[in-house]
Amino acid sequence: MSAEAPVIETRELSKVYPGRPPKTALDRLTLSVNRGEVFGYLGPNGAGKTTTIKLLLDLIRPTSGSVSLFGLDANRDSVAIRRRVGFLPGELNLWDNQTSLEVIRYFGRVRGSLDMSYVKTLAERLDFDLTRKIRTYSTGNKRKLGLILAFMNRPELLILDEPTTGLDPLVQQTFYQMVQEARAEGRTVFMSSHVLSEVQAICERVGIIRNGRLQTVERVDALTQVDFRWVSLRLRDPVPPDALAHVPGVSDVVVNGNTVQLRLTGDFDPLLRALSNTYVQDMRVQEPTLEEIFLAYYSDTPPVNNQRRFATSNRGAAR
């Protein structure tokens, strides 16, 4: 495989579950993830994230299309692929009457190698007790065990399904560091999430999926530079509620006395012209958060309600 070849590559990948009616879980997904990249796969529950991951791991078979990892066919070469992959499922279910150490040793034997000193290092970093039985663990501790199982063989590719669900903020930070270290070592991370802040924190590119269809793939920084922003105005005199509603590019106008909040798409000029006869005491502009962009992909209606937007704008103003 050449250095430029993607680690993950899907072409027109579809999965339809039989039933009445059949359910299209994934619809013609074409996606590639490059070596050394931390790729975020965003979508709400039922969007097709887990289906994609199961297809990558050959746990389920595509209805049509192809999927390859490291240039190898996901079905034909699945064992060779899985030797190079660490996987964290969305919900980790293991054998309740086994201890973590027993599970780790079992997985190590199946993989053919186990570096116990590295396992202990991971356990210490995650503040995790390896000696207890699985049934005694909280959701967060099960998640930690899942992370140890995924990371313990230093795989070339980490496939993580909702990795931070149930983790407390301190452990989340440790997880972010682990991902950054993996990336620094040239390893690739493919992680699904609906937690946008973590994608913003650690991912370079993000794919957004909705109803089984990939909506977009963008760099995280490019995605935040979409052509709309929130504008907050403080005027000297109160304005009528519909004063700015008909200005081109302006929407979601909320008037509260002499304060106006609005969403502006496109240039500022129409808004400034509309305000030319108004005394503006203060004007603040805030870029949309990734969450707002994310929601915008899922809805034809405005991405956030007015109350939410006020809070967002005020936070932006405070910053």
Partner 1 sequence: MRGAVFFETLRRSWQSMLWWGLGLGALAFLVIIIVPDVQVLEQMARMMETLPPILIQALGGGDIAYMATPEGYLSVQYFGFILLIFAVYAVISGLNVTANDEERGTLDVVLSLPLPRERLVLEKFLAYALLTVGIIAISFVCMWAAILLTPALAIDLNKLVIANINILPSTLLVLSVTILLSSVLRRRSHTIALASAFVIASYFLDTLGRAAPDTILEPLGYLSFFRYYDVVGIMQHGITWSNVLLLLAATAFFLATGVWFFRRRDVGL
Which residues lie near partner 1 (CB under 8 A)?
Answer: 54, 57, 59-61, 79-80, 82-83, 85, 87, 89, 91-95, 98, 106-107, 109-112, 149
Nearest to 69 by CA among 184, 189, 157: 157
Question: Of the two residues 97 and 131, which places its CB atom closer to partner 1 in the complex?
Answer: 97
Closest contact distance (angstroms) between CB of 25 and partner 1 is 11
> Please, which residue, 51 or 164, has the CB nearer to partner 1?
51
- Report residue 303 as tokens: 């991405």
**Residues 6+ positions from 296 with CB-CB distance below 8 Å:** 226, 288, 303
Rounded to a whole number of angstroms, the minimum distance from the CB of residue 136 to partner 1 is: 17
Which residue from 290, 293, 285, 271 is spatially nearest to 313, judged by alpha carbons?
285
CB 62 within 8 A of CB 10: no
Rounded least distance, CB 213 to partner 1, Å = 21
Q: How far is the CB of 138 from partner 1 (least distance, A)?
A: 18
Nearest distance in Å: CB 102, partner 1: 8
CA distance 53 to 59: 9
Cβ proximity to partner 1: between 97 and 138 the closer is 97
Is the CB of 111 or the CB of 132 nearer to partner 1?
111
Six-digit token pair at 279? 């005394």
Identify which of residues 55 and 260 has a Cβ nearer to partner 1 in the complex: 55
- Choice between 160 and 260, CB closer to partner 1: 160
Shortest distance, position 91 Cβ to partner 1, whole Å:
6
As measured in angstroms, the least distance from the Cβ of 193 to partner 1 is 18
Smaller CB distance to partner 1: residue 69 or 304? 69
Residue 3 or 79 with smaller CB distance to partner 1: 79
Q: How far is the CB of 65 from partner 1 (least distance, A)?
A: 15
